[in-house]
Amino acid sequence: MVLSTNIAETSITIPNCKYVIDTGKEKRVLYNPDSNISEMKEVWISHASAEQRKGRAGRVRSGVVYRLFTRAKFAAMERFTPPEMLRSPLDALCLQTLRMNLGSPAHVLAACVTPPEPSSVARALDTLLEIQAVRRGRKGALELTPLGNHLADLPLDCRLGKMLIFGCLLRCVESVATIAAFLSQRSVFRAPLEKRDEMMARKRSFAYRWSDHLTLLRLYAAWSEAKRKREFCYENFINYESMLTVKSVGAWGAADA
C-alpha cells in the first residue's frame, strides 16, 4: 500500500498500482487580498485533479478507483485548479513587470489569459509603495527604487527581503535572518485545544517588551542553548522540525546576505 499526497497526480507513476482511494481533498495555499494573508487550507479538488488521480491506477493492467465523495459533490467541483496567479500575492510579479519595463503592472496582468482580481493587483502595488520598493514618477507612472531593484533579485516575500537588506545595513543580519525564517512559516508553537492556555503561558515566558519578533529571537536563543532540544520543544509546546527549519533557513539567509 502506498499513501501519497496530491503530488502523485502528475509526478509519480507506480506501474503495478491497481487501486486508488481518492478523498477528494487537497491542501492548497490561498491568498486573501482583503487581509493580505496567505493561508494553507484543505479544499475540494477539481475535475482535472480527480481524473489525474484516477489515472494513477491501471497503468499496465485494469485498475479501480474508489472516490470518497458523492456524484453530486463531483458535479459541483470546479473544472480546473485555479492558476497560481489567482491564489498567491502579486508583489514579486509586479516587481518583475516593472523591472522588465513592460508597462503598468495593472495593465499587463489584466491582459493575462486568467487575469487576477484588480483588488489583488492594487493591494500588491500599495504594499510596494508602502515599503518604498516603487515610487511615482513625474508623470504618475510607477518606477522601481534602488531598494526595489534589490528586492527583485531576492526569492522571498518583499517585506522579508527588506528586513534582510536593512539587517545588512545595520549589521544585525543573523538576528534579522532568524526572525525572517520564523515569519516565513507557520507558528512554531503547537498544542491541542485543551492545552492552549498552558501553551500561551509558555509563550509569554519568552516575551520581550511586547515585541513578537524579539520574542521569537529570544525563543531561538533559548532553544540553541538547550542541551536536550527535543525535550525543550516538548516542554514548551514547540514543533521541533519547525525549529530545525528556522535554523537552516536562518543560516542560509545570513550567509546569502
- HSE-CB of 256 using CA atoms within 13 angstroms: 16
**209 Rama class: left (phi>0) / alpha (psi -120 to 50) / beta:** left
| Span 92-115, pLDDT tens digits | 889 999 999 888 899 999 988 888
At 110, which amino acid appears? A
Going residue by residue through the chain, which has 257 residues, state the pLDDT in tens, using 9 for 90 and above.
677 777 777 777 777 788 888 999 988 877 766 666 677 788 999 999 998 888 888 777 788 889 999 999 999 999 998 888 888 888 888 999 999 988 889 999 998 888 888 888 888 899 999 999 999 887 778 889 999 999 998 888 888 889 999 998 998 888 898 998 888 888 889 888 888 999 999 988 998 888 889 999 999 999 999 999 999 999 999 999 999 988 887 765 455 55
DSSP secondary structure letter of residue 81: P
Least Cα distance to 155 among 18, 45, 256, 42 occurs for 256
Question: What's the confidence (pLDDT) of residue 47?
Answer: 92
Phi, psi of 213 (to 5 degrees): -70, -45
Question: What's the confidence (pLDDT) of residue 251?
Answer: 61
At 147, which amino acid appears? L
* Alpha-carbon span 109 to 36, nearest angstrom: 18
- Decide: 30 and 39 in contact? Cβ < 8 Å: yes
Burial label for 123, CB within 10 Å (0-12, 13-18, 19+), is: buried
DSSP β-bridge partners for residue 21 = 66
- Decide: 22 and 50 in contact? Cβ < 8 Å: yes
- Decide: 22 and 3 in contact? Cβ < 8 Å: no
* Alpha-carbon span 78 to 112, nearest angstrom: 20
Burial label for 158, CB within 10 Å (0-12, 13-18, 19+), is: buried
- Decide: 194 and 182 in contact? Cβ < 8 Å: no
Residues 6+ apart with CB under 8 A from 199: 189, 190, 191, 237
* Alpha-carbon span 24 to 76, nearest angstrom: 12
Q: Residue 61, Cβ neighbours under 10 Å: how many?
A: 10
- Decide: 118 and 125 in contact? Cβ < 8 Å: no
Question: What's the confidence (pLDDT) of residue 185?
Answer: 81
Whole-prediction pTM value? 0.71
DSSP β-bridge partners for residue 37 = 32
Question: What's the confidence (pLDDT) of residue 81?
Answer: 86
At 133, which amino acid appears? A
Question: What's the confidence (pLDDT) of residue 59?
Answer: 73
DSSP secondary structure letter of residue 210: T
